[in-house]
Amino acid sequence: MGLKDIFRKKDSNEEISIKEKEDLIDNTDAEEAGDVNEYQNEDANIPKTGDTSDVNEAEEVKRLFKEKMNNVDFQIRFLVEHQILPSKLNDDPIYIITALAADKGAYINSFYNGIYTQNKLENPYSNEDFTVSDPFEIGGVKALKIDMPEKNFGETLCKSVYIIYNDKYTKFLYLTVETDADGKDKMGSWIDSEHEEYDIGDRDITDIICEIIEDEEITQEKYTNIIDKLFAQEVKPTGIFTDPQEVKKHAQIYMNAIMQVQKFKEQDKRDEALKLIKDVIRKEAANYIDTEDKEYHAFRNAFEVLLYANHTHPYNYKKKTRKKLDGMQIDLSSAYLVYGAMMLEKQQYDKAIDILWKAVETSPVNVQMLFALADAYKGKRYLKTYLNLMKRAHVYAVRKIDIARIYRNYAYYYMQIKNYDLAAILAYASKYFDKSEKLFSDCKNAIEQEAGKQFDEPSLEEIKKTMLANGIKWGAKELALSVANMLKKQFTQAQNTQGIKMCDEILSELKPNA
């Protein structure tokens, strides 16, 4: 599919899927891409600029816009600024924001390079034509500003783009500064595929952005400070050990304490369980305090380290580098998970969110932590954040049962916004990754009860087609697959049979049952 197909769809108001937009960048097959120049000649009967007799103002605006669409450079800028960037931000905000902050103009220009190359055209832009700021504070949240090139600029194109996000990447905005036909600046807000415009006039852009942030509630997460209170009292850390035997011994003591907490819960000794888990966290967490140059995580294997390094590893904007990764001698996230689950059981969702974010920060690519955190937001009815956490989990999921759970959670979200047809499709999609009939039936029955009708099982082809049209990936995300393949090559070269076996198991697990 080439540029002409994208814009034919735009003119006909037909929905363009995220996958189609990605194909436009990723596909290097010239025949599939099509000839852009062919599109330029399709509307030769469009009136020339200035011939406005017999047309009203609205028709004139439409005609002028179509005329600009015949300019390939305009087409490409419009596509990147108004479709590709906002859709990719919506699909994977944490990756897009960190990539922009780290790679600056090179990342933006990579989209243009792909499209121009695909259409056998020379890219008129260099990396330096795009200026991307370091993250800065605005309206109580963070922002990136992208200044777009003056080359090929025109009405409806962007002078600049602001990406607004909170510190957990759970809420975000895509704001554009454009110029209208009268030469006046306006701001566009792109939220969940909806577009609103704001007149700038003599107003300060910062004031307008702050108003939008407040209206859309793109604020930092409000915490209970339960974690801060946990570390308020002085505590003696257990210490970090160098002797392998001591490390192993301490890890067993830690696991015994976690199991004791579970026993207290089973015996309905909630106070004892709560006291013990707090004590464990205080003593262990004191060993692993991040510094400006180092961060600690509980990675279970080399695959998780590479997955994190290739997707989420934060960028140190002052030093223009990333922090050194250091592992924990115990999996502290399991303690946060137990503590957070206890708060969830008591329906103390704010406290659970506070604690479970620590679990995610400690073990950032472990989808179980993201599932638990999503459940806490679900309890507060923060559905968009719930969905964004599932999108993040989808990037890291490497087991069929986890992918199935993500699909069921997607189904729950779409059921809540009354898109029952898509919810049912996702429920049926989960069957291909998890053979548990009960989990599928519970999900499907809930959708049918809400919808007031039954849904027959669709074909696999129909499931994949519907998911593709809605920008939902079938199976594992490409990042997990590429990391597993990359790691397998390294283990093969090193003749590490245990590592090769781990990668083979991951790759085998990532294949769906159909």
Q: With a cut of 80, say whether residue 48 has pLDDT above it.
A: no
Highest mean pLDDT among 88-102, 142-156, 285-299, 351-365: 351-365
| E-strand stretches of 87-240 | 131-132, 136-138, 141-147, 158-165, 172-179, 185-191, 194-199
Residue 123 tokens, joined: 């890219």
Other Cβ atoms less than 10 A from the Cβ of 125: the count is 20
Percentage above 90 pLDDT, the chain: 32
Phi, psi of 195, rounded to the nearest 5 degrees: -120, 125
Q: Which residue has the tokens 């194909």?
A: 23
Q: With a cut of 50, say whether residue 441 has pLDDT above it.
A: yes
CA distance 243 to 255: 19
Are 401 and 371 a contacting pair, CB within 8 Å?
no
How much is the pLDDT for 358?
Answer: 92
- Is the full-model pTM beyond 0.85? no
Secondary structure string (H, E, C) spanning 274-331: HHHHHHHHHHHHCCCCCCCCEEEECCCCHHHHHHHHCCCCCEECCCCEECEEEECCCC
Are 513 and 333 a contacting pair, CB within 8 Å?
no
Mean pLDDT check: name the lowest of 178-187, 231-240, 275-284.
231-240
Per-residue burial over 346-377, b if 16 or more Cβ lie within 10 Å, else e, is eebbbbbbbbbbbbbbbbbbbbbbbbbbbbbb
Highest mean pLDDT among 106-115, 190-199, 244-253, 292-301: 106-115
N- to C-terminal Cα distance for the chain?
27
Going by pLDDT thresholds of 50, 70 and 90, the confidence category of residue 404 is very high
Q: In terms of pLDDT, which residue wins out, 319 or 420?
A: 420
How much is the pLDDT for 414?
Answer: 96
Going by pLDDT thresholds of 50, 70 and 90, the confidence category of residue 17 is very low
pLDDT digits (tens, 9 = 90+) for 331-374: 899 999 999 999 999 999 989 999 999 999 999 999 999 999 99
Going by pLDDT thresholds of 50, 70 and 90, the confidence category of residue 40 is very low
Q: In terms of pLDDT, which residue wins out, 497 or 101?
A: 497
CA distance 421 to 449: 13
Domain ranges of the chain: 3-216, 221-381
Q: Which residue has the tokens 């436009």?
A: 24
Which residues pair with residue 165 across a beta bridge? 142, 172
Residue 169 tokens, joined: 């990447």
Give CATH superfamily name and number for 221-381: Tetratricopeptide repeat domain (1.25.40.10)
Highest mean pLDDT among 51-65, 269-283, 285-299: 269-283
How much is the pLDDT for 99?
Answer: 79
CA distance 160 to 404: 40
